[in-house]
Amino acid sequence: MKPAFILLFLLSSQLLSSGQDIKFTTNQFKEDFNYFITNINNEYCYFEKKKINWQVVKEIYSQAVDTITTRNEFINILEKVFNEIYDHHAGLNTNTNNSQRLVPSGTDIWAEYINGKPIITELRKGFGAEAAGMVGGMEVVSVNNIPVELAIATFLPTTLKHVTNEAKSFALRLLLAGNHTQPRKCVVKYKGKEEEYFPDRNGLGLEHIKYATKIESKLIGATGYIKINDCLYDNELIAAFDSIMKTFKNTQSLILDFRETPSGGNTSVAKAIIGWFINEEHFYQKHEYYAEEKSSGIKRSWVEIVSPRKDKYYSKPLAILCNHWTGSIAEGIVIGFDALKRYRTKIIGTEMARLNGAVYTFEMPNTKIRFTFPNERLYHINGIPREQYIPPVFIDWRKEEAKTGADIFMIKALQFLKNK
């Protein structure tokens, strides 16, 4: 991207009034930008697979910083910089109305480029896109009347010599997530016909997602069912989970549903959940802190242990459900269960959110904008990067017939548990 084009983009962006009451000097913006660029340069642990030149990124966008006068313009530049590493696990802890929603937590459509075509592969259950009738297998033609190839260009890295399929899929998902004010209109091609869909027809339901409860539970015959609603960061979940598990002690089997956990969480909650299903200590994931290796040449890595919990043990058959909205620590829980090799246990689902590594958060000295990105690489204990994990019972929309109201995840889980 040429600096003049960046300037044009910034000047044409519609800005929020929120946060504009505090004025910052050009030098303050430059100091914060350098802090931002330097920390990512030193700590981001996936440059190797991104194939970008960070120095070029710095040179291009630092010129844009010289032209801005508001905090929102600065946010716009920072978001463009993060697009250069096309990583859904890297982002700001603030936004403007024109910012795209976060993926996966702020979107209801998962899509990727398959054989060169932008294909929807999964819809988030209970949200607007699914309610509008969209299904896996649809090819995206346009969004808000802009052809998809033109529309994704805004979110593509500009410093890549060759735009990869991964980068295009990243941009496609951002496009389909939409921003915080404009309802989406999606034109798709399906079974030879083009159709229009309006995922936000009944309002911008992705803006402030609320759940009736943090955790849901019910009995399905003699099988217990537990669904966690995006609160793996909340230590209060531990007591709620414990309470439900105690009521399910006499069930014949159990289903744990992590299909609505896109926002991540903490390892205390993760280990509290896993600890119910083991009676001895186990390794459950491997970490690598890349910055130390980069600065010293010495690799720093370790394997994390999960321990059984006193008087809390469930030994019966278990099915674990995951999908593209199983993100971050939830992905760690899933690969942790896989590492246990627990008897009569099966993981069922699609690929997960494929969020890279473990993130750290930094705060800029002047604007106080916080930003987060992966600093540790994470692995299954068998050595597979967490983001490459595939469930043993893999659900592929290309092989499953779409049936209105059918939950193929639950069907497969109950089939597995019935045979145990």
Would you state the structure tokens that stand for residue 6, as one six-digit string? 């960046």
Q: Which of 143, 167, 197 is the last residue of a domain?
A: 197
Q: How far is CA 60 from CA 39, 206, 341, 417, in A?
A: 17, 33, 49, 56
**Residue 377 counted as domain residue:** no
CA pair distance 124, 134, nearest whole angstrom:
10
Would you state the structure tokens that stand for residue 280, as one six-digit string? 């001895």
The pLDDT, as a whole number, for residue 406 is 82
pLDDT, one tens digit per residue, over 190-212 is 999 999 999 999 999 999 899 99
**Residue 55 counted as domain residue:** yes
pTM: 0.92
User: Are 227 and 347 in a shared domain?
Assistant: yes
User: Are 173 and 296 in a shared domain?
Assistant: no
CATH number, domain at 327?
3.90.226.10
User: Are 118 and 83 in a shared domain?
Assistant: no
The pLDDT, as a whole number, for residue 66 is 94
Q: Which of 43, 60, 92 is the last residue of a domain?
A: 92
Segments forming the whole domain that contains residue 48 = 3-7+22-92
- Per-residue pLDDT, averaged over 30-45, amounts to 98
User: Are 154 and 46 in a shared domain?
Assistant: no
pLDDT, one tens digit per residue, over 224-243 is 999 999 999 999 999 999 99
CB 36 within 8 A of CB 368: no
- Greater confidence (102 vs 12) lies with 102
pLDDT, one tens digit per residue, over 107-122 is 999 999 999 999 999 9
The pLDDT, as a whole number, for residue 21 is 62
CB 63 within 8 A of CB 341: no
CB 88 within 8 A of CB 103: yes
Q: Which residues pair with 309 in a beta bridge?
A: 312
The pLDDT, as a whole number, for residue 405 is 66
The pLDDT, as a whole number, for residue 22 is 82
CA pair distance 292, 300, nearest whole angstrom:
7
The pLDDT, as a whole number, for residue 1 is 36
Residue with tokens 């992590």: 258
User: Are 147 and 172 in a shared domain?
Assistant: yes
3-state SS track over the chain: CCHHHHHHHHHHCCCCCCCCCCCCCHHHHHHHHHHHHHHHHHHCCCHHHHCCCHHHHHHHHHHHHCCCCCHHHHHHHHHHHHHCCCCCCCEECCCCCCCECCCCCCCCEEEEEECCEEEEEEECCCCHHHHCCCCCCCEEEEECCEEHHHHHHHHCCCCCCCCCHHHHHHHHHHHHHCECCCCCCEEEEECCEEEEECCCCCCCCCCCCCCCCCEEEEEECCEEEEEECCCCCCCHHHHHHHHHHHHCCCCCEEEEECCCECCCCCHHHHHHHHHHHCCCCEEEEEEEEHHHHHHHCCCEEEEEEECCECCECCCCCEEEEECCCECCHHHHHHHHHHHHCCCCEEEEECCCCCCCCEEEEEECCCCCCEEEEEEEEEECCCCCEHHHCCCCEECCCCCCCCCCCCCHHHHHHHHHHHCC
Q: Is the peptide bond before 385 cis (omega within 30 degrees of 0)?
A: no
Whether the predicted pLDDT of 186 surpasses 50: yes
Q: Which residues pair with 359 in a beta bridge?
A: 374
The CB density around residue 26, as the number of other CB atoms within 10 Å, is 12
Into how many domains does the chain fold?
Answer: 3
Whether the predicted pLDDT of 124 surpasses 50: yes
Whether the predicted pLDDT of 10 surpasses 70: no
Whether the predicted pLDDT of 20 surpasses 90: no
Report the amino acid identity of residue 11. Answer: L
User: Are 33 and 133 in a shared domain?
Assistant: no
CA pair distance 280, 287, nearest whole angstrom:
21
User: Are 190 and 133 in a shared domain?
Assistant: yes
CA pair distance 299, 1, nearest whole angstrom:
35
- Per-residue pLDDT, averaged over 42-60, amounts to 95
